[in-house]
Amino acid sequence: MVDTIVGTRIRQRRREIGITQAELARRIGISASYLNLIEWNKRPIAGTLLRNIAERLNLAIEDLDGASEHRLHETLVEIAHLPSLQGMNIESHRTSELIGRFPGWARSMAALARSEHEASARAQTLSERLSNDPFLNEAVHRMLTRIASIRSAAEILTDYPDAPEERKERFHHIISEESRVLSDIGEALAVYLDKAEEENRILTPIDEVEALFTARENHFAELEEFAEKLAPHLTSPHPVSRHAKALELTREHLSGLIKDLIGSHREVETAAARTRATQALMDYAVGAILMPMKAFQEYSDELRYDIEALSEVFSTGINAVCHRLTALPRTENVPRFGYFRANAAGTIIEMLGLPGLAIPRYAAACPLWVLYRAQQSPETVIRQRALFPSGARFVFVARARNTGPTGFGKPRHYVTDMLATSEADAQRTVYAAETNAPVEEVGPSCRLCPRRNCLHRVEDPLAA
Amino acid sequence: MTKRVLLAEDEPNIVESLTFLLERAGFEVGVESDGRQALESVLANVPDVLILDVMLPELDGYEILRRLRADQRAESLPVLMLTAKGQREDRETALECGADLFITKPFANAELVAAVERLAAQGSA
């Protein structure tokens, strides 16, 4: 078994740094014969003694206690069973021996398998991205339309030499006009692809974290389960102390679980994304401890999803409440929420999307969303009935709050939290729109919006 | 008697080419550039052939076709769908909705005119 390699690792490491068994035994205060038994895996070892040995050997404890070997063992066994390696007669029953005798080779093999896995996952993401990218789809559609005009007009000029002069002139004009539009689209496409190249990857860390939340529908049942058990430890009525305690409990009890959770998700590939995902899941766990799901569901239902009332009941911020609302388990009678957060520059800094509702990151977003307007009247909840060009209707609820220290003469730095839900789902909430409430026409972004006469347009639509 | 083709298409330059070609082929050509009006126009005066673009403002080509096929007046009207989207699922959707033919942009003029002639003959057979 893997555990038997702890002694082997101690023996190897001691030899690497060139000290004798007797010397190490003396330094940690045990007999040389006892250390000998440990080194030959004939005595179990843990606790203080293991920590002392690790310290003397300049190693992290997980390098000795078998935890990292255990993970390596699992990885290698998994590799041995990969369908692509079937028929290679891998001696998976001797994996522990491989790790014990050739740890460097074993780790390299796991690293190779991991990078192969990451590379193919990335290739798949890129290929899906290419076929689903709204910008590329629109650009291709527009190019084909332009080419159709040019081809048809050119064929007419060739096939009908007897056509009246003024018609011929029109077709020449069409070819010249459409060629110009075609080269504009080509240029826009080249700029778009260059941008992707500059970033050297099409997915940003924020995209990766969003992909993780989307894959789990914003709900992490394993964290919820622990949070329910940890919640009773919050005894202070004071919001700041409750938050600090929730954070402490999360760090103490849930760090490992969060790490494993991120490790098990292909969506999170890069180190930068892992750091972001860890922070996002820590926040999730803190929210889950402050607002345990069962109680949160009951209050949400009773208060009809009123974010301010919920914030008061749970003595926590509006943003935390919005996060919790997106995490509500999917059942028939529960509205489905999305959440967006924007800073004063209008940059989206967080997005937990809803199906059919997204803000493009690489194009000018629609300024008509209440998300951007809420900072004109901070600390006030504003509702917007939004109608999209596709006919989809959403209800947006936004509120701007100050994020920095307050005091006389201090500048205010507002961010806006915005909750989104479909108009149908909004009927179950306090934000249900009265039938005569005004409906505002908004769009996804100028590029993708066909409302030609919009006064706020800053870019031409792609589908012109 | 001159056969009548209705062209439901919102790209003015394509409309201009197709009108020229179809008139040269001996058809009378009507044009609608908006989905809802195209539907009304067909039902008010059913043409011999309908050339229907998929991406139309107000009402898309698939929806128009579904409504036409559900209406006695136009259930057997020959329809040629025209679109820049050439993926297999688009073709399947068009045929499911009841299109007789499906041609993708960019098209060859001769191929399109031949298709319209075939549909017009089939309608009168």
Contact B74, B46 (CB under 8 A): yes
pTM of the predicted structure, to 2 decimals: 0.49
**How many domains, chain B?**
1
Phi/psi at B103 (5° precision) = -125, 135
Name the residue ranges covered by the structural domains of chain A.
Answer: 2-115, 133-198, 204-333, 335-464
pLDDT digits (tens, 9 = 90+) for A210-221: 888 888 889 999
Rounded CA separation A368/A443 (Å): 8
* Chain A, window 174-203: residues with a beta carbon less than 8 angstroms from a chain B beta carbon: 174, 177-178
Residue A445 pLDDT > 80: no
pLDDT digits (tens, 9 = 90+) for B39-81: 999 999 999 999 999 888 878 899 999 999 999 999 899 999 9
Asked if A464 has any chain B CB less than 8 Å from its own CB, the reply is no
Q: Which residue of A has its CA nearest to B113?
A: A152
Rounded CA separation A389/A385 (Å): 13
pLDDT for A428 equals 92
pLDDT digits (tens, 9 = 90+) for A109-160: 988 888 887 788 777 777 776 766 767 777 888 889 999 999 999 999 999 9
What is the CATH number for B12? 3.40.50.2300
Rounded CA separation B13/A133 (Å): 27
In angstroms, what separates the C-alpha of B30 from chain A's closest C-alpha? 18
User: Which alpha helices (DSSP H) does A29-102 contain, by range?
Assistant: 32-39, 47-56, 61-64, 67-80, 95-101
Asked if A173 has any chain B CB less than 8 Å from its own CB, the reply is no
Higher pLDDT among residues A306 and B94, named by residue: A306
Residue A1 pLDDT > 50: no
Average pLDDT for residues A24-38, to the nearest whole number?
91
One-letter amino acid for residue A38 of the chain = I
Q: What is the CA radius of gyration of chain A?
A: 30
Average pLDDT for residues A391-412, to the nearest whole number?
88
pLDDT for A404 equals 80
Asked if A144 has any chain B CB less than 8 Å from its own CB, the reply is yes
Higher pLDDT among residues B22 and A46, named by residue: B22
Q: Which two tokens stand for residue A410?
A: 């201090």
CATH 1.10.357.10 correct for A2-115: no
Interface size A-B, in CB pairs within 8 Å, comes to 63
Asked if B113 has any chain A CB less than 8 Å from its own CB, the reply is no
Cβ-nearest to A149 among B17, B21, B24: B17
Confidence of residue A361 (pLDDT cuts 50, 70, 90): low
Residue A11 pLDDT > 50: yes
Whole-number percent of chain A with pLDDT over 90? 38
pLDDT for A464 equals 43
Asked if A40 has any chain B CB less than 8 Å from its own CB, the reply is no
pLDDT for A200 equals 44
Low-confidence winner among A7-16, A320-329, A354-363, A364-373 (lowest mean pLDDT): A354-363
CATH topology of domain A335-464: Beta-Lactamase (3.30.450)
The domain in which residue B67 lies consists of 4-124
- Tell me whether residues B106 and A147 touch, CB distance under 8 A: yes
- Tell me whether residues B20 and A450 touch, CB distance under 8 A: no
**Residue corresponding to tokens 């899906």:** A128
pLDDT for A360 equals 62
Whole-number percent of chain A with pLDDT over 70? 92
Q: What is the DSSP letter of A103?
A: H
- Tell me whether residues B14 and A160 touch, CB distance under 8 A: no
pLDDT for A54 equals 87
Low-confidence winner among A93-107, A217-231, B38-52 (lowest mean pLDDT): A93-107
Cβ-nearest to A170 among B16, B104, B108: B16
Residue B22 pLDDT > 90: yes
Asked if A139 has any chain B CB less than 8 Å from its own CB, the reply is no
